[in-house]
Structure 1
């Protein structure tokens, strides 16, 4: 579906103009939104707008990393939205020219819908031009990152405070780390993209809208710090789990080693008297069996007391 918004020089909006009339002298700037376009509609990127083939190719080869490319007088942005359920990235492409904005997305985008409504409903925003419309799209996309990050923070807090087994806790931690990695792959490139926009000399009008794009960049800085902080927290919890397991294993091995050490001399004595020789000392002694058992018990008990005093059972 194609949506067209044309802003006249007097500030009024025309929503029903055909593409061929968008370059009329009375049109100040316009916005064309390719919302889940058909194959025929998507071909207009080349047939009508004559965008660079590489930019058009990036629109269909998902999923591109957020980036900014300059093609003569057209600037091409690859932006990412976040699916609120799966936290997967969804690509939104934006073409910015001297008097137009063209957005292209294969999935529905509530962020673009909201930016569209704001431009439509507020005449003062239309006067700020196509660059401000591009800012609104980026701002709405970035604003939707916050609920996803806050949701993971809440999950992390619940997992930390809940009374779960260590294995269940680690399952939650690794799941949260996987989701944080998804968000990190979107937020950090978006932060770098905004940094390029702020320092770009090729995009006309950025200096006049510097405060707006700086605000988005500040949000992305905050988001990236939250992501790294949460990743560090999950790493600390993971390392604590590994340390607990290691200490528990060491304690078990120490106990087994002490028990094995106690039974070594007893096994030696039992082995000696288990040999089938006819002539052995004390072999035919009436009290030999009980004496050997007494000696073995004394050795075992004595070693246990000694190890206990040395703290090997603590």
Structure 2
């Protein structure tokens, strides 16, 4: 699908014109969006726009790392959008010329319709042209990163507040899943930050100081996103350490209980073992109240050991 829009020299918007009409229209700048293109529409990159073969190859072979390349008369950008559902990166290719922007992508992207609506709804003049349009597209792509990270951050805060021995196993599974998601986000956001750094420090793009301020704003957003990722990774590490501490304390409590039970039964087992031997000459075996005396001694030993463990602070009751 091909979507087109442009601004005429008379400050009028034109929409959905054909590529063949470009040569006859008096446009200040135009935007051609190749949305989930067919094979015939893919061929337009070479046959109509005559872009460099290496740039076309990067468009057709996904998924490239975010980058910027220079060619005669235009710059080529590889951007990464994020799918809200599975956090998979989706490639958006952008060609920026003096009076045109061409975008190419295989997946449906929510950012581009919002950019198109924003352009139409703006009442101010759009004589800043294609550079400002490229800024809007990049800015909208980056803006869509924030809800994803904020949602992860809110969930992590909820997990930390509700952390308890009864929820520790579920929390551990969730934390490792979140750390995996943060790693995927990091692989997208950090290269995008490097890309914007190159844009800001590029002489070949010829950005004015006014235009650089807009791209600096995107770069600042990416710096903020990087900080959120690192803080969330630290938060997952803290939750993981807390979970390990809870597990360790629970295990220590279980081992202490079992040890105390074993310690109490050791002397009782010894007494029972002694009087369980089959010797004929054991005087206690013939006492009339011997059985009750032995039971009393065993009870006395057990209670005394419990009181002693309690006194030493080893028994938490």
Scaled by the length of structure 2, what TM-score is found? 0.85
Distance 2:273 2:26 in 1: 108
* Alignment deviations for residues 109-147 of structure 1 (CA, whole Å, 9 cap, x no partner): 232223234445558553112111111100111122222
* Alignment deviations for residues 21-54 of structure 1 (CA, whole Å, 9 cap, x no partner): 6467955433221011111101111222233333
C-alpha distance 206-176 of structure 1, shift in aligned 2 (>3 A): farther
Match of 2:189 in 1: 187
Match of 1:54 in 2: 54
The counterpart of 1:272, out of the listed 266, 271, 274, is 274
Match of 1:299 in 2: 301
Q: Residues 220-259 of structure 1: matches in 2 within 5 Å?
A: 220-259=222-261
Structure 1: segments with no counterpart, 5+ residues: none
Alpha-carbon shift at residue 247 of structure 1 (Å): 0.8
Alpha-carbon shift at residue 309 of structure 1 (Å): 1.1
Q: Indicate yes or no: 2:289 matched with 1:282.
A: no
Match of 1:156 in 2: 156
Distance 1:228 1:90 in 2: 23
User: What SS does the corresponding residue of 1:62 show, helix, strand or coil?
Assistant: coil
Q: Is the 8 A contact 1:197 1:206 kept in 2?
A: no
Q: Is the 8 A contact 1:6 1:13 kept in 2?
A: yes
The counterpart of 1:210, out of the listed 209, 212, 219, is 212
Moved more, 141-150 or 152-161: 152-161
Distance 2:68 2:177 in 1: 32
RMSD of the TM alignment (CA)? Answer: 2.9
C-alpha distance 298-103 of structure 1, shift in aligned 2 (>3 A): same
Scaled by the length of structure 1, what TM-score is found? 0.86
Match of 1:99 in 2: 99
Moved more, 167-176 or 123-132: 167-176
